[in-house]
């Protein structure tokens, strides 16, 4: 949606991110014949959508798509896949995340004296690769396969571009 927005617009970074995602999928298949690193997503509602609901969404469904302040994108790497002779559980992943905070408007700021102070967030956490959990249930295998793009929310370390580190007991 950003690419067609007059306020936000598409960018070379957007294009590069799309190309990187495709390259990650194809490159792993060519290199290892399996997906060892998966792209995942998490979302938590923020106060910014209440301030600017037209742009950031009026309900949970819209906010999960529009409010980039609550979105985190993850690279979730399966530890066992890189050390198959180890005793690591096959379902345990380490995840590296990226998000942002304080983004309410594009380049055209409103004239209500609002000061936008956005910053980047980087995360380090564990994750679960649901498709590597053994189950005899075909139904559960299907459910795990469908929802495996969602990052499971255990403890997380957050590193902020404006400085500082924050510990989250659970991070969505």
Q: Pick 111 or 79 by higher pLDDT.
A: 79
Residue 108, pLDDT above cutoff 60: no
40 and 26 housed in the same domain: no
Which of 43-47, 50-54, 58-62, 74-78 is predicted with the least confidence, judged by mean pLDDT?
Answer: 50-54
Residue 152, pLDDT above cutoff 60: yes
85 and 140 housed in the same domain: yes
Residue 171, pLDDT above cutoff 60: yes
Domain range enclosing 126: 36-106+116-168
26 and 52 housed in the same domain: no
Q: What predicted TM-score, i.e. pTM, was given to this entire model?
A: 0.87
Asked whether residue 71 is assigned to any structural domain, the reply reads yes
In 3-state terms, what secondary structure has residue 21?
helix
């Amino acid at each position: 949606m950003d690419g067609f927005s007059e306020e936000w617009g598409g960018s070379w970074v957007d294009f590069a991110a799309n190309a990187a995602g495709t390259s990650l999928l194809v490159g792993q298949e060519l290199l290892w014949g399996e997906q060892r690193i998966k792209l995942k997503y998490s979302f938590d509602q923020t106060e910014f959508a209440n301030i600017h609901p037209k742009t950031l969404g009026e309900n949970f469904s819209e906010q999960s798509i529009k409010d980039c302040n609550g979105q985190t994108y993850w690279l979730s790497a399966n530890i066992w896949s890189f050390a198959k002779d180890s005793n690591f559980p096959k379902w345990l992943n380490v995840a590296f995340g990226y998000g942002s905070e304080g983004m309410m408007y594009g380049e055209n700021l409103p004239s209500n004296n609002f000061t936008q102070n956005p910053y980047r967030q980087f995360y380090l956490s564990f994750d679960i690769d649901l498709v590597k959990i053994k189950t005899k249930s075909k139904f559960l295998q299907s459910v795990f396969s469908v929802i495996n793009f969602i990052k499971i929310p255990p403890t997380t370390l957050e590193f902020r571009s404006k400085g500082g580190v924050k510990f989250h007991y659970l991070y969505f």
